[in-house]
Chain A
């Protein structure tokens, strides 16, 4: 499937914004609306490098993109626990894995004015919270509030 003209215009804007704030991110299969992903590395303040992947849904921007951590794999938490084992967890802000990777909770109610850039920025903050969890053993909701 291909993107509609309106979607192509929107994705062009998304590309420009993401390039400004996360220049290392790449668009994978950008012409295939059934398989478009955005992927890139982020380095936390603790110095660890993670790869985030955002799945751009074919009806974008009308539904919420999924975001997963693809590297390191498996993604480990406190004392080496595989975070996939949490599945959907309110306290860890995770959802059931996608393609075997830990899926990060970000926005509850998706609105078309939200952007891929904001999703990735949330991923960046989530990863910094993961560093806190790995240091202290506290769940992620110790560092990240729940949406009201």
Chain B
């Protein structure tokens, strides 16, 4: 299980580096509803888990 601070640290790095960190992957696991930070070589937390890095790389509307 990934704690919230690991997730926000990953998000912060994505902002700072202008892209998702190459040594980490952010996934959303629909079986738990949790966000998971893992190494790219590690197994996904579940078969239905989806990579969420594209969303964070694309960014959010400025408002």
Contacts and interface: CB of A to CB of B under 8 A. Distances in A.
Interface in A34-84: 42-46
Interface residues of A, number: 40
Interface residues of B, number: 30
A111 to B, nearest CB: 12
Interface string B33-63: 1110000000000001010100111111111
Contacts of A128: 4, 7-8, 11, 35
Interface of B: 1-8, 11-12, 14-15, 18, 28, 30, 33-35, 48, 50, 52, 55-63
Contacts, number: 107
A131 B4 contact: yes
A126 B24 CA distance: 19
Contact of B55 (A22, A92, A95, A122): A122
9 contacts: A21-B28, A45-B4, A88-B63, A89-B63, A124-B28, A125-B11, A125-B56, A132-B12, A145-B56
